[in-house]
Structure 1
């Protein structure tokens, strides 16, 4: 297949010669097509040539006007000032803003279509006397009420709306005059200025207009002016299929082609160009498939299946393949679903800025300042602070961020004070948490907030310079640019406004911004939005989410100018927009060999999902000429799995891995559960944000129990100075008040975050239920311990660490292992490392030492508990530091897990058992208590070393777990895929 642009390139070269291309300006509706035409020119000549100059239609107009198109937000602000000056209205800017955008859109369309404004607004006055207000939709009526405030009757609403109409004409002229005085314009005003002044200083000999469809009147006038001067040539892209009759896809080209003749038409095209092969393609047999699916996600996953169905084409001719997103929100899912076998991919739409951490950072910062700061201005709500501290970019802002997180996580209150957050912290951390002056209001407050956000983004950019992540750096820069752009607009305006407007504008700008992917645009598979497909041809096309509402894009006629007047004055209407999308749709099918279109058939708001009207139209019109296959994908159907991509241990990842100096048993267990979980939590140091909820989850429940047990045994043992006897335990059990006192203190510290002695918490009903359960558990612990009395308490909630040496890739490496031990006690000559567990009991079948390190047994045999208990016991047994500090005397150390729910009577023994060696294949295995960790040290240390070597082996990537059910509860499942 020869593409439209290949034929354009051949014709331009034949008519002008390669040596004269520098005298030509090629004008496209959008920028992307120029890259493909350049490629076609190179292919046609076979050597490097001096390319033409390329412009978009917007560039062409702007290059011939002394006016400058102002920022859209700035334009609405200026329009508001003109409106207030003209009407004396006291409507606040945040109420006016959406209506201002609508007015600006109307003025822009009016000028682009060269409407006589005075005549139009006289016509509008005739509408003012109308009594029927039913032409407004419910949404428009609601918007009006939001603008004017609550109104009691339609008559009042109508009168207020008519008041705006009466002022539209004077406002249009006053606004344009204000802009012109400052050398500014909106786009339509600038376009109109160019054609009405009949600009003649066009510096190129020839202007070649390629691939246009609907032309605004200003564009038509400019095209005709250049044509009449003998300076313009036109290349239209169409198919005879939709050029005949009244087909909407060809409506506008049919209208223009006589006065703006096609250079590729019969009789005008250069020798060797077959006009029929260019313009008669939709009637040819094609492989067309309609695919219905119940979700957008299933459509995205179908990408993998579709690409594989193309076979070698993906590798041998990837430029012939296009994935078109009718709903660009599918981009993230599609990226995840591209198979590893795909080579180069060019994503023309760019990555949505709203989906980047840079955007969420601004969101959580602004939420912390506007919603998280209490009225006293001295205290924050914990949930908002935690969202900032746990953000993946927070560590780049300040080195103190992890310290602040650790501080409030260890001693947190539900309302941390500003002083606590900033005291003894670096300048960057103080900048984050220091509130603005309470005297700032309105515009001044907004400008200060934007400067604050800009400062933090700058700190983030500087702190992340060492990261080899182009998307990170580009998204931070784009976000920083948006913030500064807004700051300049607000700083210049003299209008007062509320912070709600700032949030709305930020959201609009972020949603409309994308981060470009760098690469060679003319190479590889193309992933693109509908608008980027203009003038481009592909052999193999997949159109995703081709639903009614996406194709055509949800068009509306929101305007102050009624539809009948817009149509009468040849302004843009809904019909125009639908015809344009019909052209885009049929152009995509035009030269393709096979086209697959997916659509969502699920019900939404009681309405069944529908395929695009253009799909139905093509199915009916093509009749028997085209055989259209119909496929249905079911929910849960394994079209293709979402790929959880392994993380290679190179570059930044390798550097971070080498920087790890210590590991806890929890970190090692995360690796066994899923290496990617270890990567996100330990290597990237991502954390789940803390919950502000004051109720008791499993973690807090366990923490309260641990603290209560610590307080009890500190008291019974006099901080380890005396043995704990059965009589002491009996005496305490009889003193119900004393046990409750210890439990209340634990609640105060671990739930309410109050460390004041004698503080008595006020419990709600659910908290009282948990307190009663904990009282039962504490008494059960005391009963079990009484059976083992007397015993000595050696340490409670203390840290134990030891260096562990292992070999990785032929090199020795040491790492510090350890963590906090719940309790170390001695019964006779036996040391026990006791780990309290308030959760579900162990599985009935104990693992062997080897099975402790087998990822398959993490859930079924609770091997994570064994690994932690064995590791702590081995550290204490072999640590000279611990032996000397606590006078352990080399006594045997036994690992013990005390499951409170399982400990029903005095016979309960918490010392762990392991499966004896050589039990493989036996129907009934035997088990032995580990009364001395030294008895299993060799095998445990060997397997631990192998696991650590696995973690730190830079040749082995972090792979996703094979147990996909673990992903359901993983906090990283959204970013992992």
Structure 2
């Protein structure tokens, strides 16, 4: 940034007017971050070695005055709970319920103290409002719930004073308490520092306590205050950016005899402001990446004068992944909610897995496979666990629920991290916290210190490690909490108030920050995201028990003041910038909908002469086709593989796969890519079909070759239950079959087999002579034809071949629904072009393969559909001039062969590529 930045100007004044007493000068800034930039500005403006002034944030300064140490939100919640338990003797809320209302109440206590209000007056006001809301002529009609509700409001002053006293005695406090005590201690403090000089710089809104402190020191002439406000906003009485400072100028006695410093004249200078709308948050992240890439090329990677300001913290991770490689060093300074922290998501998964394992079965510790796989494949763990074999075994063996001891058997050589992740959690919260702490330490030790990405991961892991340590400290004294469920409930509440802190090199590289972190700082290029209503400005969230009208009455800030603060921050970012990019979500519908911020409209309406505003809308390019059809030409190696298949054998299903989708045929038969093993939690249709096939094979195997009688089928009925169970265990391995949908599938399999046997029994009673020739028989036959380039073997397994009343019947079982029309052929023309003929192609292939063994007997081939058992055997029929022909004659077989030769020639044609079909 050029030398007109606020901190450069401040450095000039310090070196010019305070050079002889810099060591006795204390600079107070809105945040700690600006200190580094101010020191850098001082270094650049002085060639000599000097004693730097003391530079502190307003919060640290107020702590110094009060003598009270600040605690974070997590510790404060614990302190408040211990106070609450002391003063609440009956009907004590659990920590989870307590935290829900305590977080809001603590914010109100904080505001009451920061604005130096009388707590009893405010809290009594709230009690009276609630009394009026529940007013009733007949007081006896009040329910217990209403009474308890009113007692809560009556107790607010007790909660406030007890907490205040408790914290004060320990020398710790929340921000409001520290501010109130600082004001109380102001006279004593100012007496002890008369030889010091205080400079307040870069402030905008001040709470009542801050105003009192600043005015007190100004009156004593031991302080000065330098504001950073532009004349455009200061002179416009309607503009929210100047709301606070216009009031200070008008009301502070100090300004009756002193000039108001500094009113800058930068906002009206030349600026390029690009306003870019794009659907959804991820679109903004991608655009930020492209803007950074452009500036990085122009500035040779020197991006310290470029700032990305996030209107919404959730955009941090998408933006980090969208940054170009030439972005170089990063400096992230912003509050990032621990809720979205990847390390936190891992801990949440651990809690879920172990709490469910504890409660799933009272007798044993049982993990659910999905929860185990979630842990094993988590990005923070996967590369250090070496458990790919375990993941494969779980998937291959269909382990749905895994007993703890079984998991140890499956992976006996697990490393320390594996042991910690899956060791049993007894109902001992303290031990669980120590285990989680060890897990986080191992993860941290495995992270690289040089990788920029892993530095960020390190910050995530460390922030959760701190929270776990705070919980450990709390649980070592809190004897009233002794269950894992309660621990997790407390953990979830704590995560809500905790934030991730990032550490970087502020003077080097691209700056990524939140809105509040941008205070006092000036950048040449500013990219602001989420410039939408409800995000920037933040909107009318009222996370408070104090109603709006009461806040107005008492002088507490409302959303109006919060809007004005956001307005100032927004315009301050633009004030000295030359290139500004404002990104907003243009999608007005759906979950992530957004409305353009009023700030953008304001920029249009109040456009400055030197501002060059451009508007763009980026929409993702939507291709005309959702996917491009895959086309794979046939190479020499593909042709060689096809000739291998021709020797080994084309199965009927591989022929129909080619008709359905040549690409699928290419993947399965040419490349031999099989589907990845996954746990089949609910029995799939194909698994159910395999089981039914297996049961019928085992039941009928002893009966091959003999004429079936009623007694044979009666014996089969007796074996159904045991055989179905055996086949389930064989095919479904370790999968759970006694619960839920799987139990239903188990019963369906039994019912299907029993219904099949009933039909078989009826046929025998009706006089059918049935002799089983083969079951699950492997058939093959070489097809030699003058139109084929070489002989082709057709091979496959047929479910059942029988001799029924002197006719050969070839049967294919289908667990899906098949109608008789599915096996009726009207014309041979384009038989292999229509996938609707797939069942006919398959059953005639079996007939072709068995034909040489038919011994001259008539043949018929067809399907038994388990979803259409009432129709019985569905034979292939050809609709000829004389009617339906059921027997497979030599003419039918010859016509079929001619069509299969056409299909095979297409497969072997070097010129015809494999092309994806719909």
Q: Same fold (TM over 0.5)?
A: yes
Residue 539, structure 1, aligned to residue 524, structure 2:
yes
Name the CA distance, whole Å, in 2 between partners of 1:366 and 1:701.
35
- Greater displacement, 177-186 / 617-626: 617-626
Name the CA distance, whole Å, in 2 between partners of 1:35 and 1:688.
55
Taking a change above 3 Å as real, the CA distance of residues 353 and 754 of structure 1, as seen in their structure-2 partners, is closer
Name the CA distance, whole Å, in 2 between partners of 1:900 and 1:351.
62
Taking a change above 3 Å as real, the CA distance of residues 431 and 36 of structure 1, as seen in their structure-2 partners, is closer
- Greater displacement, 483-492 / 606-615: 606-615
SS in 2 for 1:371: helix
Equivalences, count: 732
State the partner residue of 1:12.
Answer: 14
Name the CA distance, whole Å, in 1 between partners of 2:230 and 2:305.
20
Check conservation: 2:215, 2:254, Cα contact below 8 A: no
RMSD: 5.5
Taking a change above 3 Å as real, the CA distance of residues 154 and 246 of structure 1, as seen in their structure-2 partners, is farther
Name the CA distance, whole Å, in 2 between partners of 1:179 and 1:518.
30
SS in 2 for 1:578: helix
> Equivalences for 1:632-651 in 2 at 5 Å?
632-636=617-621
Check conservation: 2:69, 2:172, Cα contact below 8 A: yes
Check conservation: 2:367, 2:402, Cα contact below 8 A: yes
1:614-636 CA distance string (max 9 Å, x none): 22233323387755333222354
Residue 58, structure 1, aligned to residue 59, structure 2:
yes
SS in 1 for 2:375: helix
1:905 equivalent among 834, 845, 849? 845
Taking a change above 3 Å as real, the CA distance of residues 301 and 511 of structure 1, as seen in their structure-2 partners, is farther
Shift in Å, 1:34: 1.8
Name the CA distance, whole Å, in 1 between partners of 2:85 and 2:122.
23
State the partner residue of 2:768.
Answer: none
Residue 376, structure 1, aligned to residue 368, structure 2:
no
Check conservation: 2:268, 2:608, Cα contact below 8 A: no
Residue 525, structure 1, aligned to residue 510, structure 2:
yes
SS in 2 for 1:551: coil
Check conservation: 1:296, 1:600, Cα contact below 8 A: yes
SS in 2 for 1:27: strand
> Equivalences for 1:289-438 in 2 at 5 Å?
289-307=274-292, 310=295, 312-315=297-300, 318-349=303-334, 354-355=339-340, 357-373=342-358, 374-382=360-368, 383-394=370-381, 405=391, 408-411=394-397, 413-422=399-408, 429-437=418-426
> Equivalences for 1:493-508 in 2 at 5 Å?
493=478, 495-496=480-481, 502-507=487-492
Check conservation: 1:748, 1:755, Cα contact below 8 A: no
1:619 equivalent among 604, 617, 622? 604
TM-score, structure 2 as length reference: 0.66
Name the CA distance, whole Å, in 1 between partners of 2:446 and 2:464.
16
Taking a change above 3 Å as real, the CA distance of residues 901 and 243 of structure 1, as seen in their structure-2 partners, is farther
Structure 1: give runs of 5+ residues left out of the alignment.
134-151, 270-274, 639-671, 674-686, 717-725, 776-781, 791-821, 824-837, 839-898, 910-918, 928-964, 966-977
State the partner residue of 2:438.
Answer: 455
Check conservation: 2:313, 2:336, Cα contact below 8 A: no
Check conservation: 2:75, 2:470, Cα contact below 8 A: no
Taking a change above 3 Å as real, the CA distance of residues 280 and 690 of structure 1, as seen in their structure-2 partners, is farther
Taking a change above 3 Å as real, the CA distance of residues 365 and 4 of structure 1, as seen in their structure-2 partners, is same
State the partner residue of 2:745.
Answer: 764
State the partner residue of 1:186.
Answer: 174
1:751 equivalent among 726, 732, 754? 732
- Greater displacement, 570-579 / 58-67: 58-67
Check conservation: 1:397, 1:456, Cα contact below 8 A: no
State the partner residue of 2:461.
Answer: 476
Shift in Å, 1:370: 1.4
1:236 equivalent among 227, 231, 236? 227
Structure 2: give runs of 5+ residues left out of the alignment.
624-665, 668-675, 757-773, 783-795, 798-813, 815-838, 850-906
Check conservation: 1:327, 1:545, Cα contact below 8 A: yes
State the partner residue of 1:176.
Answer: 164
Check conservation: 2:691, 2:749, Cα contact below 8 A: no
Shift in Å, 1:300: 1.8
SS in 2 for 1:492: coil
Name the CA distance, whole Å, in 1 between partners of 2:284 and 2:736.
54
Name the CA distance, whole Å, in 1 between partners of 2:241 and 2:537.
12
Name the CA distance, whole Å, in 1 between partners of 2:384 and 2:841.
45
2:209 equivalent among 218, 228, 240? 218
Which protein shows a greater Rg? Answer: 2
Shift in Å, 1:239: 0.9
Shift in Å, 1:473: 4.1
Shift in Å, 1:494: 5.3
SS in 2 for 1:290: strand
State the partner residue of 1:880.
Answer: none
- Greater displacement, 342-351 / 2-11: 342-351
Name the CA distance, whole Å, in 2 between partners of 1:625 and 1:770.
83
